[in-house]
Structure 1
Amino acid sequence: MSNSLITKTKTKTRDSFFSTIVNISPKLLMTILILPVLGGLLGVILPAFGWLPALDKTQFNLQGFEQLMQTPGIAQMIGLSFFTSIVSGLLAFIITLLLIATYFDSPWLARIQRLLGPILVIPHAAAAIAIAFLITPSGMIARLLSPWITGWQSPIDWLLPHDPYGISIIMGLTLKELPFLLLMTLSAIAQPALNIKLRAQYRLALSLGYYPMTAFFKAVLPNIYPLMRLPILAILAYASASVEMPLILGPNTPPTLAVAIMNWFHDVDLSLRIKASAGALLQLLITVAVLITWWILEKLTLAITCKSLSNGQRQYGDILWAKVISIFTVLLISSIALALLGMVFWSFAGYWQFPLALPEQWVLLHWKSALIQVQTPIINSLSIGLVSTSVAVILTLLTLEFEKQNGAQLSNYSSLIIYLPLMIPSIAFLFGLVWLQEALHSKTTFINVALAHLLFVLPYVFLSLATSYRKLDPRYAQVAASLGASPLKIFLQVSLPQLLMPILMASALGLAISFSQYLPTILVGGGRLNTVTTEAVSLANGASRRTSAVYALIQMLLPAIAFSMIWLVSTRQNKQRAQQMKTEVTL
């Protein structure tokens, strides 16, 4: 057989294999998302109703729910979970709207976006630790105001953090949800066709005498709210079952239901797993109740404000509101900066007596001791993050290539499945995954944890890459195909080079999401695989404030390094393009 014939055969085989992989990628992606979630839910439902063969429980009953309802403080746990999630989501939504309405036609909106953007990748645990350093009785706020305003010479005993009303949790969740909701909304507005339409309607409203904020709420908001709904529901679902924020900022007697469930699951008394499973189903009902409450609020708001859209009123105190929001924006950004600065101070602080605003001694001792102990958690975090992110990026690219080759996007049903792990409380199905893992006698801890991370990384990676891939100019691929290029060659040499920056950005985002995963790591890993996040959370309530600050900063540095590398690559590319354009103009 001639060499040319062998080469053609190999090429045909590669193309056939690539086509097969592309065709099965959407099904594989759906399977990876559906099976663990539904299997996990099944693994929670059965023990919740008394079926747990590992404990010789093989008869269905309601004993787990009876134990759950008899738990002291269960009503407070339910109320705290519901109240903190709905209030934090509502505050994040209102602040997002007010910021966009105030700065919609101003360059300050892009600046605020750049300032709040980095907060998006700060893990929840690190954000909670930073906020705790800000609001504790000896925190940065008290130090800056003492003694010259407050007269305090020693820390006073106030409720924050760990207050019984969940105010600390609401503050933490709001500050963490706000950047996500703001950036998702601005991304929706940035769609070319929609952006042109919104700008035209906004300018028309201004030309008719409407004040800027009123013009936004009457002409722009009705068009963009449907695009905000899914991100809002995602943050509500997360907030209702969050563990890291309540564990670090919330009360302990009683805690939120999600924290209590985790404690029951880890108790040495294995019979409490039945109670924990019943609690996980109750947590799912709480999340559903939160989402239904939001839907009701939507309907009520629409009924109340519907007539105001066409009543002809040109302003609703716009000037006063604009001043208030401007002051609030400065306070918001200053508070975030102060929280991060306080965490840096504590990581280097030696002796630091209250009410001094700065440490009296600066030491490296805490960093030196932490860096010795944190090497294994860092390696674990990087390994798990790289595996889960790589699989997510490859699966996403192949699925989007399937869309391009077939000329149709995924169905609404498939798109909904992609976000399934974000909409269902993780605590409601992760326990089931652990139960299934134990039933199957799976000992591959690393693979189990990486797959658990993949469930949460994949939706974000898909969301990040889908828009860029779908906007690719099809003419490049058509020209390559007309020249005889195979689908594999077009994918590798035409499509992927154009998507270098979006792929790198999606990879950095995936790594950031993986680095921040606490509950999947601690549950699926069974405490056998420590990461920087699990160490930071475990140290937040029991260790030295200085050690906690170091671990939180290390947790923040991991995604920051990833995004910094993306920025360097982007800067280098832009310089090369500018140099090429300059050379072409010269020639």
Structure 2
Amino acid sequence: MKSKTSISSKIILTIFMLVIILPVLTLLVWTFTERWAWPDLWPQVFSMRAVDEILRRKEELIKLFASSILISLVVAVLSIVIGTMTARALVLYDFPGKDGAYFLSILPFMVPGTVFAMGVQVTFIKLGLNNNVLGVIIAHLVCSLPYAVRLLMDGTMAVGNGLEEQARVLGATPWKAFYKVTLPMLAPVMLSSFSMAYIVSFSQYFLTLLIGGGQVKTFTIVMVPLLQGGNRNIASVYSTVFLGVTLIIFGVFEWAAGRLGKNYGSEYYT
């Protein structure tokens, strides 16, 4: 019985890997393809034209990535800070309107993105937040916060506040008890929340276009029109760079989380 289960698991895992790997391989092939007509299974003409064209725009590309990464990092940090406080309030405390606060925290899940963008644009115009970076960050934050809050609520439920209360009984201040005891245990969940908020912000197109008004340039603002325009080799180069930078950023997150966990662990046990 166990062997059958193991074989089924391997088959399912292989299928999932192929579903992920095959599109990426196709994307890489299109990066160096000039002509690939149906029904041929292999490109007829290879070319470095798309890569050369992107390299000629490297200064523009660097600015786009700097803008996109900065906006996404700010959104992710704010999501973690606000999400942690919200999750702790909803899980560890009872207060009037708690159910309403929880509903509001997940409300962006239920509202279609286009409806939210059209509605919030009118408000942002009145507040002077349209066509600027601050407005884009706030709009991205509204979309990414529900993911962070939901993940951090699960993590807070698992960790609880028993050890933190014991630390306070032993003389630790509320901040020191949270920083020394709870934060290290929440670090993996916070990393997951940070990553989710970052990728939600980094991949936003319509919301950035509408709130930014074309004045706030991000990578998706440039990449998506290329994907829709039929210029597949140029779009594939942009998509490959997009994928590569995202993987590098997540690698840095993992490395930082590992170092942070080791530092917290050494401090905790000493």
Quote the residue 2:199 is aligned against.
512
Partner of 1:388: 75
**Preserved CA contact (<8 Å) 2:131 2:212:** no
**Shift in Å, 1:561:** 2.3
Alignment of 1:83-482 (within 5 A): 106=6, 109=9, 333-347=17-31, 349-352=32-35, 354=37, 355=40, 357=42, 361=46, 363=48, 364-403=51-90, 406=93, 411-442=98-129, 445-482=132-169
TM-score by length of 1: 0.40
| CA–CA separation in structure 1 for the residues paired with 2:150 and 2:178 | 20
What is the one-letter code of the residue matched to 2:139? A
> 1:195 matched to which residue of 2?
none
Whichever residue aligns with residue 458 of structure 1, its letter is: L
Following superposition, the deviation at residue 447 of structure 1 comes to 0.6
Counterparts of 2:194 and 2:77 in 1: how far apart (Å)? 7
- Counterparts of 1:384 and 1:532 in 2: how far apart (Å)? 11
Once the two structures are superposed, the pairs formed by residues 525-536 of structure 1 within 5 Å of their partners are 525-536=212-223
Q: Rate the CA distance shift 1:508–1:409 in 2: closer, same or farther, 3 A.
A: farther
Q: Which amino acid aligns with 1:393?
A: I
* CA drift at 1:576: 9.3
Identity of matched residues, %: 23
Deviations 1:411-466 (A, max 9, x none): 44332221211211121132122222333444661110100001111011112221
Q: Quote how far apart the aligned CAs of 1:491 are.
A: 1.8
Q: Would the aligned equivalents of 2:130 and 2:211 in 1 still touch at CA under 8 Å?
A: no
C-alpha displacement of 1:356: 5.8
Q: Paired residue for 2:224?
A: 537
Q: CA deviation at 1:524?
A: 0.6
Output the amino acid matched with 2:42. A
Matched, 1:524 2:208: no
Q: Is residue 87–residue 153 contact of structure 2 (8 Å, CA) maintained in 1?
A: yes
* Secondary structure class of the residue paired with 1:477: helix
Amino acid at match of 1:341: L
5+ residue gaps, structure 2: none
Provide the alpha-carbon RMSD of the alignment. Answer: 3.4
Render the CA deviation track for 1:140-174: whole Å, top value 9, x for unaligned.
xxxxxxxxxxxxxxxxxxxxxxxxxxxxxxxxxxx
| Deviation (angstroms), 1:517 | 0.8
Distance (whole Å) between structure 2 residues aligned to residue 359 and residue 367 of structure 1: 22
Aligned equivalents of 2:79, 2:110: Cα separation in 1: 18
**Structure 1 residue 539, shift from structure 2 partner:** 1.0
Residue 107 of structure 1 deviates from its aligned partner by 8.0
Q: Kindly indicate whether the alpha-carbon contact (under 8 Å) linking 1:403 and 1:410 is maintained by their aligned counterparts in 2.
A: no
Change (3 A) 1:107 1:465: farther
Cα displacement (A) at 1:481: 0.8
User: What's the secondary structure of 2:159's corresponding residue?
Assistant: coil
Q: Distance in 2 between matches of 1:331 and 1:461?
A: 29
Aligned match of 1:502:
189
CA distance in 2, matches of 1:518, 1:339: 21
Structure 1: tracts of 5 or more residues without a match = 1-102, 112-325, 580-587
Number of matched pairs: 260
- Contact 2:132/2:212 (CA < 8 Å) preserved in 1? yes
Change (3 A) 1:421 1:352: same
CA apart distance, 1:344: 1.0
CA contact (8 A) 2:90 2:102 kept: no
TM-score, normalised by the number of residues in structure 2: 0.80
String of CA shifts for 1:545-566, please: whole Å, max 9, x gaps.
1110111122223432232234
Structure 1 residue 527 displacement after superposition: 1.0
C-alpha displacement at 1:521, in angstroms?
0.1
Output the amino acid matched with 1:345. Answer: V
CA shift digits 1:90-146 (9 cap, x unpaired): xxxxxxxxxxxxx9965865x7xxxxxxxxxxxxxxxxxxxxxxxxxxxxxxxxxxx
Q: CA separation in 2, counterparts of 1:410 and 1:440?
A: 28
User: Hey, what does 2:176 align to over in structure 1?
Assistant: 489
Distance (whole Å) between structure 2 residues aligned to residue 543 and residue 497 of structure 1: 48
Provide the C-alpha distance between the structure 2 equivalents of 1:409 and 1:438, rounded to a whole number of angstroms.
Answer: 33
Change beyond 3 A, Cα 1:491–1:338: same
Distance 1:575 1:390 in 2: 21
Return the alpha-carbon distance in structure 1 between the equivalents of residues 4 and 205 of structure 2.
36
How far the C-alpha of 1:516 sits from its partner, in A, is: 1.0
Structure of larger gyration radius = 1
Deviations 1:164-208 (A, max 9, x none): xxxxxxxxxxxxxxxxxxxxxxxxxxxxxxxxxxxxxxxxxxxxx
Contact 1:464 1:502 in 2 (8 A): yes
Residue pair 1:370, 1:547 contacting (<8 A) in 2 also: no
Code of the aligned partner of 1:532: F
Pairwise CA distance, 1:542: 2.1
Whole-Å separation in 1 of the counterparts to 2:181 and 2:193: 19
